[in-house]
Amino acid sequence: MLFPEAITELSMYRQFADVAQVPILANITEFGATPLFTTDELRSANVAMALYPLSAFRAMNRAAEKVYTVLRQEGDAKARDRHHADPQRAIRKH
């Protein structure tokens, strides 16, 4: 597998795939050099796998910020249930 960095155009992935003849891994991270290509766009450029290394982490940070804002504004954790994931829902999915 080839992991080219800082790809700025889909055609660059195609070139790597054509020359290397191995699966291509795309690094799709917000605020990186590579645009946020869709999975369909990546697939059309012969990308075998896409890595989103910080997407969930950034979403968790935003969620934490919201919870702490509620705590600061309301003075307690009673309202937290509106902002937390439902553990029963997570259990049912698995």
Annotated domain spans of the chain: 10-51, 57-93
The whole-number pLDDT of residue 87 equals 67
What pLDDT band is residue 85 in, cutting at 50, 70 and 90? low
Neighbours of 24 (CB within 10 A): 23
The whole-angstrom separation of Cα 74 and Cα 81 is: 13
Q: Is 75 exposed, middle or buried (0-12, 13-18, 19+ CB in 10 A)?
A: exposed
The whole-number pLDDT of residue 70 equals 85
pLDDT digits (tens, 9 = 90+) for 25-74: 999 998 999 999 999 999 999 999 999 999 999 999 998 898 888 888 88
pTM for the structure as a whole: 0.69
Per-residue 3-state assignment (H helix, E strand, C coil) for 5-70? CCCCCHHHHHHHHHHHCCCEEEECCCCCCCCCCCHHHHHHCCCCEEECCCHHHHHHHHHHHHHHHH
Tokens standing for residue 82: 């509106």
